[in-house]
Structure 1
Amino acid sequence: MTTTPKTPNWFDICMDAWALAAESNMVIAMRMGSLALGGPNAAREAERMVTEKVAANMALGCDLMGGKLGNSPEAIVSGSIAHYSKTVVANRKRLGDTLAPQVSENVGEPE
């Protein structure tokens, strides 16, 4: 993902938002695959998903109230995108590394 400059403009913000949306869709698809396999790994992933979302929203709320993201609309939107991008990128990397072995282990097993 790109990172907006110190003085973000709406074009860069839109490109970052588009990149976040694309990467989020990849994470959603990988999580659906992981959850579809079922078992204890799926339960852990579902719990992690909810916990991460609550923590990310609370942290962003604190940053917004504390003025950490700035006071212009561009800075606030850009900071919000950057805040969520960190978690989304980390999840894509983690799920990409862990989903492939799970799928190959479960191929051909009876349900």
Structure 2
Amino acid sequence: MFDAWYATAMLAMESQKVIELRMMKLAWGGVAGQVEAQRMVSEKIGAALEATGTLLGGGTPEAVIDRYREHVRNNVARLSAPAGDRAAGH
């Protein structure tokens, strides 16, 4: 029980960095901002479908939270990368 609560709290805290980085990108606007907005929406839909599949397949809410935390880590790494690395797809 405590593990699930802790993982959920960590997800909430870790997500704040992605929100910060995305808001900066969206605020700068331009093509990069438009691409990020579209990517954000498609990622949200994909994550919701993935979570639904996990739960319908007998997975636990903890497994869903762990997977969301992976997505968050990947987004922080992508959004924090220097511009040259982002252009290369890293």
TM-score, scaled to structure 2? 0.85
What pairs with 1:1-111 in structure 2 (closer than 5 Å)?
10-67=1-58, 69=59, 76-98=60-82, 101=83
User: How many residues were matched structurally?
Assistant: 83
Between structures 1 and 2, the one with greater helix share: 2
Secondary structure at the counterpart of residue 14 of structure 2: helix
The sequence identity of aligned pairs, in percent, is 37
**RMSD between superposed Cα atoms in Å:** 1.1
Secondary structure at the counterpart of residue 34 of structure 2: helix
Based on CA coordinates, which of the two structures has the bigger radius of gyration? 1
- After superposition, the C-alpha distances for 1:13-52 in whole angstroms (9 at most, x for unaligned) are 2111111111101100110000000000000000000000
User: Could you tell which deviates more after superposition, 58-67 or 47-56?
Assistant: 58-67
Unaligned runs of at least 5 residues, structure 1: 1-9, 70-75, 102-111
Q: What amino acid sits opposite 2:44 in the alignment? A: K
Kindly report structure 1 stretches of 4+ aligned residues shifted beyond 2 Å: none
TM-score, scaled to structure 1? 0.70
